[in-house]
Structure 1
């Protein structure tokens, strides 16, 4: 558990057989937001740490970039402990969650829409997530300049609490066909990201970037 940037807290687990680190984040703002849940096993480890950081604060939202086990596998477990928290996701992800019986309090967001509280502004960006190119969402927190990259900025290795110097334009150029298989959607996403000027990238896997 790391206070990784301003009031952003990172929770991480490293899996040696695949040399990959999985991150979840809590923005400890006036209306706290959890970004991803991890798998069920990761969520079991996350929960006591999450409660410790939250203290008397109440978890308000759970952001899910796309439907995959490390993004939302532990969502049902999180909701058992925080039943009033509201998942935030794309329409396609909401439909997928409904197949697992998660239907209550879901907030559906479209690209270009925002979620605004007294001290943050989350702006949603279309994310054609691999491999089926289902429309997921990426998030830019505009007041702090934090970009939540999900699987888009990706590095292997043990990266618990790791922050490295980054080059935003180079990261955009390095988006691979494996990450976004359709060339037109890849180019569209890259053009959208070029308009952003984040100060910090909170990655789903690997070291975070200070820009």
Structure 2
């Protein structure tokens, strides 16, 4: 674990057989929020680290961009240790979470909606994730300028604690059809993202990006 940007902590696991790094993030604020759970094994390794960082503070929220093992596979385990935490997710993911018995309590968000606390402001955007093109969510933390890119902007290789310099528009133009397999929705997503100018990209996989 490491502080990767301002008060954003990163937890990373490198999986050699697929040559890919998996990242989760904790924003330490008065209402701490975790971005993605990792799978069960990753969550098991992460919980003691979360408790060390949080101390006597509670984990308030867990953001889940879409329903997939590395985004929410460890949710039940995390909620055993942080039962007060509320998952924030798209409506279709909420249905999957309850259907699989992962949780009965969640905050379902739609594209264009926000979550504002004393320390941060999250704005949510449509993310037609590759998993059946189910409606997912991307999120921008507007006060720090942190964009959480989920499965977009992936780079393979071992990338624990890594940050690389990049260009925001180049990264957006590099989103492939394999990641959003609907040409019209891919174009709309790229148009939406180009309206923003974040300072930092917290990637789901690979190095983070300073843009």
Q: Which residue of 2 aligns with 1:17?
A: 17
SS in 2 for 1:140: strand
Q: Which residue of 2 aligns with 1:41?
A: 41
Q: Which residue of 1 aligns with 2:209?
A: 209
- Spell out structure 1 runs of 4+ moving beyond 2 A: 102-105
TM-score, reference length from structure 1: 0.99
Give the aligned length: 211
CA contact (8 A) 1:131 1:181 kept: no
CA contact (8 A) 2:76 2:103 kept: no
Q: Which residue of 1 aligns with 2:198?
A: 198
1:29-67 residue CA offsets vs partner (Å, 9 max, x unmatched): 110000000000111111111111111211000000000
TM-score, reference length from structure 2: 0.99
1:5-45 residue CA offsets vs partner (Å, 9 max, x unmatched): 00000000001111100000000011000000000011111
CA distance in 2, matches of 1:105, 1:39: 20
As a proportion of its length, which structure holds more strand? 1
Per mean C-alpha deviation after superposition, the further-off stretch among 61-70 and 46-55 is: 46-55
CA contact (8 A) 1:131 1:179 kept: no
CA distance in 2, matches of 1:153, 1:77: 28
- Alpha-carbon RMSD: 0.7
CA distance in 1, matches of 2:187, 2:131: 16
Unpaired runs of 5+ residues, structure 1, are none
| 1:146 pairs with 2:153 | no
The offset of 1:104, in angstroms, is 2.8
CA contact (8 A) 1:26 1:33 kept: yes
